[in-house]
């Protein structure tokens, strides 16, 4: 998703939390690696016509919808919720694919693309800001952070002609290995440091890469879950962020329900 926008949201939410507190309290094994080099299911035989990318209309029918997910909100992202690919720059060129996946902008040369913003709120977050009367400062702080327990996932489907999807995923995997120690990037006019790219194990689709990406922006550290899997000529990408986890400095789980729902629709 638009990393800078979401991180700004987290920073603003944290600031509101502190201000209100001051007032209230008086103060699977991954299907990657060597397996990723194997021929995928459904590959055309030698000499057969090259695989065709799905059209945007076809992707619209396959992208996850609210009916596919329980307790999740699914919307088409607005202009202020997506990053402009033209503003993305990376100091280390070999790390650009990771920055693109993190920012939910196209990697490689897709023929068509669609996106959805998926939001999951905890029960506490659904209730909104809590009543702090009678709570200690620590209890009030925890209640406020609980109300920010919201996971936002930018889900993308992108289709590629011929072997474009396989090649793009291979480039992502290689970039993740080369850039595990971090790099510097800029998106939407804001510079941020990627502090680490940690590989995770996730068996999904015909091939997949999964990372926890650590970032630092304005002295605030955060983690984003990034997953890209391939099904035929299509790549499904996910970039997820949890506001409460950032505030607490904690990790959070991959949005498996979202990923599995998209995998099921792609077949």
Q: How far is CA 46 from CA 1, 50, 51, 53, 128, in A?
A: 38, 9, 12, 18, 58
List domains and CATH numbers for the chain: 3-266 (3.40.1000.70)
3-state secondary structure 27-38: CCCCCCHHHHHC
Q: How far is CA 157 from CA 26, 59, 98, 128, 206, in A?
A: 49, 7, 17, 32, 15
Which of 71 and 248 is assigned the larger pLDDT?
71
What's the pLDDT at 50?
Answer: 75
Minimum mean pLDDT among 10-24, 66-80, 103-117, 235-249: which range? 10-24
Confidence check: pLDDT of 173 > 90: yes
110-153 tens-digit pLDDT: 999 999 999 999 888 888 877 778 888 888 888 888 888 999 99
pLDDT class of 190 with cuts at 50, 70, 90: confident
Which of 174 and 221 is assigned the larger pLDDT?
174
What's the pLDDT at 245?
Answer: 87
Say whether pTM exceeds 0.75. yes
Question: In percent, how much of the chain has pLDDT > 70?
Answer: 82
What's the pLDDT at 130?
Answer: 74
Confidence check: pLDDT of 210 > 70: yes
Nearest CA among 163, 179, 169 for reference residue 236: 169
Long-range contacts of range 170-175, CB-CB < 8 Å, 24 or more positions apart?
170/36, 170/37, 171/97, 171/107, 171/108, 172/97, 172/98, 172/101, 172/107, 172/209, 172/228, 173/32, 173/36, 173/209, 174/97, 175/94, 175/95, 175/96, 175/97, 175/98
What's the pLDDT at 48?
Answer: 61
């Amino acid at each position: 998703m638009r990393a800078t926008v979401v991180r700004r949201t987290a920073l603003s939410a944290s600031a509101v939390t502190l201000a209100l507190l001051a007032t209230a309290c008086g103060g699977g094994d991954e299907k990657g690696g060597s397996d990723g080099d194997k021929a995928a299911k459904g590959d055309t035989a030698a000499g057969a016509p090259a695989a065709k990318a799905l059209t945007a209309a076809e992707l619209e029918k396959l992208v996850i919808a609210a009916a596919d997910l329980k307790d999740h909100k699914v919307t088409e992202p607005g202009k202020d919720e997506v990053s402009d690919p033209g503003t993305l720059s990376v100091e280390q060129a070999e790390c650009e694919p990771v920055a693109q996946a993190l920012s939910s902008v196209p990697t490689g040369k897709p023929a068509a693309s669609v996106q959805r913003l998926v939001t999951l709120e905890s029960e506490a977050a659904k209730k909104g800001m809590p009543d702090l009367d009678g709570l200690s400062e620590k209890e009030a702080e925890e209640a406020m952070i609980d109300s920010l327990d919201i996971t936002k996932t930018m889900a993308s489907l992108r289709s590629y002609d011929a072997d474009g999807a396989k090649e793009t995923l291979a480039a992502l995997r290689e970039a993740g290995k080369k850039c595990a120690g971090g790099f510097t990037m800029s998106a939407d006019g804001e510079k941020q440091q990627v502090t680490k790219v940690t590989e995770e194990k996730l068996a999904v689709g015909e091939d997949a890469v999964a990372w926890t990406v650590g970032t630092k922006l304005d002295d605030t550290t955060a983690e984003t879950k990034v997953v890209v899997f391939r099904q035929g000529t299509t790549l499904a990408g996910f970039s997820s962020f949890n506001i409460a986890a950032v505030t607490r400095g904690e990790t959070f789980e991959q949005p498996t329900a979202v990923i599995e729902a998209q995998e099921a629709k792609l077949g």
